[in-house]
Chain A
Amino acid sequence: MSADAAKVKLELTAKHFASDQDPRWCPGCGDYSILAQVKKVLAKIEAKRENTVFVSGIGCSSRFPYYVGTYGFHGIHGRALAIAVGIKVAQPELSVWVVTGDGDGLSIGGNHLLHTIRRNPDINILLFNNRIYGLTKGQYSPTSPLGKKTKSTPMGSVDFPLHPLSVAIGAEATFVARSIDVNVKHLAYVLERAARHKGASFVEIYQNCNIFNDLAFEYATAKTTKDETTIYLEHGRPLVFGKDRNKGIRLDGMDPEIVELGDGITEDDLLFHNEKQEEPSLAYLLSRMRHPDFPEPMGVFRCVERPVYEDLVMDQINEASRQQPGRLEDLFDEGETWIVE
């Protein structure tokens, strides 16, 4: 098959994952691009519609399940992850995706995010971060920067923001990654990696809300600035960035610093990325590299193996059943019984 034919096939099969509903996001919303990439990835990994479930909470991003032709569950605010865990425990073989946002996943549903990540069920968590409440029409969110002026913060936010990846790494997520809605190739790459990871995959996607927080990520997407403000992670490779790829990240003790290559500094002096490092400190350090002080890392921060929750649950059930198959007669007779004649 020619490359073109393959592309056509991929696009056809991506359509296979469309539902009969037309997306109703605002024109120009970053969610459209994410939806397109997710459908493409589903086609690429040859997902089965009947074995795939999309789960969401409340918010603009949470309309997602209605637009995918798989099984879908549109939950209540913040609770998508708990719903997903219930699905996964009941039917471990299903492929479960959770779509959430910065408000849904980090504010009202923050507790579930921590606990789902630590349990490590094999689900894919996509957090669309637009740093604003869109559906409720423009209040600041847990990821809005300090001083952000919104409808509920006319004098600027006095809340220090939360950083999704730092939170996920703090809870020792086994897969942590970041991408941007408009960088479709990279987004598809990250989504595919997340889908193929066995365990809880956490992906933060910078998503532009052109209505209430337009251009929030312009620094990371604009042609003129993006090479200086982002850095693309590759496993086993040094952290190099810049339009001329002449800058890098070096460790000064425990602190990252930006250095220029040349003048005695070579790539060998730079920090080398290791997504497989069990110890999460390096990934955490990367998650703390933030605009405007540092270029923001994109890609897979961390990808390690750990037993997954539903397997452990089923192992115990199988072991208990092996030791003593469950018979109701035995259950009724537990403890002391007596006969009345």
Chain B
Amino acid sequence: MVVSTRLNGAQPRCVEVISLGETTVRFAGDSGDGMQLAGTQMTTTSAIFGNDVSTLPDFPAEIRAPAGTLAGVSGFQLHFGSHRLRTPGDRVNALVAMNPAALSANLSDLEPGGVLIVNEDAFTKMDLSRAGYSADPLENRSLDGYQLFRVPMGKLTAEACKDTGLTGRAVGRCKNFFALGLVYWLYDRPLAPTLRWIEQKFGSKPVVADANIKTLKAGYHFGETTELFTVRYEVAPAKVPPGKYRRVSGNEALAIGLITAAQRAGKPLFYGSYPITPASDILHFLAKHKNFDVRTFQAEDEIAAMTATIGAAFAGAFAVTGTSGPGMALKSEAIGLAVMTELPMVIVNVQRAGPSTGLPTKTEQADLLQAIWGRNGENPVCVLAAATPADCFDMAIEAFRIAIGFMTPVVLLADGYLANGAEPWRIPDMDSLPRLDVKHPGPVEGFKPYQRNDKLVRPWALPGTPGLEHRVGGLESRDITGEVCYEPENHEHMCRIRRRKIDNIAEAIPPLEINGDDSGELLVIGWGSTYGAITSAVERCRKKGMSVSSAHLRYLDPMQKNVGDVLRRFCRVLVPELNLGQLAYRLRAEYLVDATGFHKIQGKPFTISEIEAEIAKRLNK
């Protein structure tokens, strides 16, 4: 059922083949070792092969940390399997370590007895001491608990490149393809997709292309011919819905969703942003797609990014700003202006571990209450959160649908884990995409900027339209006419109307769905990027016969109308979050249920087994 080419079926010698339902491989090396490239190649190849895949890169926080040090270790984890996967994997089953630092930084995640492939050429005295090893772990039996394979990748790569004309350091840079080739053999992956990719990428540099191809094949043949490996693994294709697929990271999916929304409405897309990890890739992606009338504005600061977005919305563009938590803090006054002027726009917060600068490259979900309440005054906005990398596409469109439907800023929450994590995305049919119809009033007599419709939504009147000249601003306005008004009753009226307008959004969104039985002992409810770990953990527990279901919130303000009802159908409610209990606090306050939290704030996502263990504990199993 999967179209793929398998070049390498034959078994040249007697090796045992073990079938796996799923497995997790991590490539780790120095940031200059090309581990991200090796990882993404293996991902694409596995996806083309027909596996379900989920990935997570792990970047060092420093851009150019000294080579060989722990601070410079870069990793890429790939989970692939013959069934639906939702996370990049709990435990690493096979680790490729290109140097001692990579070994030291990643070994604790490798399962006992797991496959450990090391580039032994990098275990020199100097590299060992840079990584903080006083003794060589390859020699002192400290790795006895793993299946250790010592491969002289440096030498073998040099050998493979011998006749290609490539010299010096450029040869060393091919090493990642040797490691990749070896892993391809180990997991019986086809070489063709990567060979194609190399030819495309290095078409203009035939020497480099040739060297990489030879090195990739040398790695593969090394696995095949050396006596070192007596076992290899196969992971059969998964049953996935038919269609055309590609890989997307959350940031890519989000950017594609923004462009799609604007295109479906026939609007220019304005994106005002100040560079910030982990949101900057959205800016980069959009800046490359100006042919979709994308107008990117790299602002002088976060506040300018926000206020320029407000200006662009006032003038009729589909306006977006993107940032992370620290930028959100700076934008908060201006978000209030957007609330007062009731203009449609999307504010993306790709959350990272805070407070302050925090752990900029690590993930966290601790900006939920900031998004809902983190502004002065009664200051309601709509708050949404994406659940998976591919879901960022749908939620970006949903954010715009609500923004223009209700003339309101919409905060869309993602996080570092979603932003950089990737999964296959089934490319939607054009016909299945929502059409976003925008209505602007034409010239009328006696136009009133705050004249509302039955949903309390005011008109989006554009500068350039004769007869609609009006003024908006951050001072309290009189309802209907919009003129500045300090009257106490009007202020209360307007505060209540702004809140009710947001509440009205609940009428326009689908109800919360339950995975599993509609009622029972325990409900596990989450939001954002914990979707994969929660859903998989609940599935596992249900298979073991536990009375547990899950639900996942994409709408955080307003919440869906049936949330209270869902919560009350279970004896207990568990809320796993990558914070100290923000959603749990909200659910308790809003619905008076005894929801209790399960928290992790280590800059890392939950593993499935962590949640599984917590469910068992709550159910006294």
Question: Interface on A for B, CB 8 Å cutoff?
Answer: 19-21, 48-51, 53, 55, 58, 65-66, 69-76, 79, 82-91, 93-94, 111-112, 114-115, 313, 316-317, 320-321, 323-326, 328-329, 331-341
Contacts and interface: CB of A to CB of B under 8 A. Distances in A.
B3 interface: yes
B300 A111 contact: yes
Contacts of B483: 20-21, 66
Interface in B291-344: 291-295, 297, 299-301, 303-305, 307-317, 319, 333-334, 336-337, 341
B2 A90 contact: no
Interface residues of B, number: 76
Contacts of A65: 471, 473
Nearest to A338: B48
Contacts of A20: 483
Interface string B446-468: 00000000000000001111111
13 contacts: A20-B483, A65-B473, A74-B475, A75-B307, A82-B308, A85-B304, A86-B312, A90-B270, A90-B315, A94-B315, A320-B290, A331-B260, A332-B427
B1 interface: yes
B116 to A, nearest CB: 30
A79 B305 CA distance: 10
Given A19-B471, A91-B463, A341-B242, A76 B337 contact: yes
Contacts of B256: 331-332
Contacts of B193: 336
Interface in B245-280: 245-247, 256, 259-260, 263, 268, 270, 272
A328 B475 contact: no
A323 to B, nearest CB: 7
B307 A317 contact: no
A79 B44 CA distance: 45
A93 to B, nearest CB: 7
Given A90-B312, A91-B316, A91-B464, A71 B293 contact: no
A74 B469 contact: no
Contact of B246 (A71, A86, A324, A333): A333
Contact of A66 (B246, B263, B270, B471): B471
Contacts of B619: none
B617 interface: no
Given A338-B48, A341-B1, A73 B471 contact: yes
Interface in B471-518: 471-475, 483-484
B2 A341 contact: yes
Given A66-B484, A90-B270, A72 B470 contact: yes
B200 to A, nearest CB: 10
A326 B263 contact: yes
Q: Which of A58, A75, A325 has the most CB of B within 10 A?
A: A75
A65 B473 CA distance: 10
User: At the interface, is chain B mostly helix, strand, loop or mixed?
Assistant: mixed
Contacts of A336: 44, 48, 193, 197, 246-247
A89 B308 contact: yes
B182 interface: no
B295 to A, nearest CB: 5
Contacts of B465: 50
A72 to B, nearest CB: 4
Q: Which of B2, B308, B310, B472 has the most CB of A within 10 A?
A: B308
A333 to B, nearest CB: 7
Interface of B: 1-4, 44, 47-48, 50, 193, 197, 240-247, 256, 259-260, 263, 268, 270, 272, 289-295, 297, 299-301, 303-305, 307-317, 319, 333-334, 336-337, 341, 427-428, 430, 433, 462-475, 483-484
Contacts of B291: 317, 320-321, 323-326
A236 B590 CA distance: 72
Contacts of B315: 53, 86-88, 90-91, 94
A83 B427 contact: no
Contacts of B260: 328, 331
Contacts of A75: 307, 310, 337, 473-474
A70 B316 CA distance: 16
A111 B293 CA distance: 28
Nearest to B3: A339
Given A75-B474, A82-B300, A340-B240, 10 more contacts: A72-B471, A83-B308, A86-B315, A91-B317, A111-B300, A114-B300, A115-B299, A328-B259, A328-B433, A340-B244
B333 A50 contact: no
A86 B245 contact: no
Given A55-B311, A85-B311, A112-B300, A331 B289 contact: yes
A196 to B, nearest CB: 21
Given A90-B315, A331-B292, A51 B471 contact: no
B31 to A, nearest CB: 23
B312 A87 contact: yes
Contacts of B294: 317
A331 B268 contact: no
Given A70-B469, A91-B316, A333-B246, A313 B304 contact: no
B259 A331 contact: yes
Contacts of B466: 48-50
A73 B427 contact: no
Contacts of A89: 270, 295, 297, 308, 312, 317
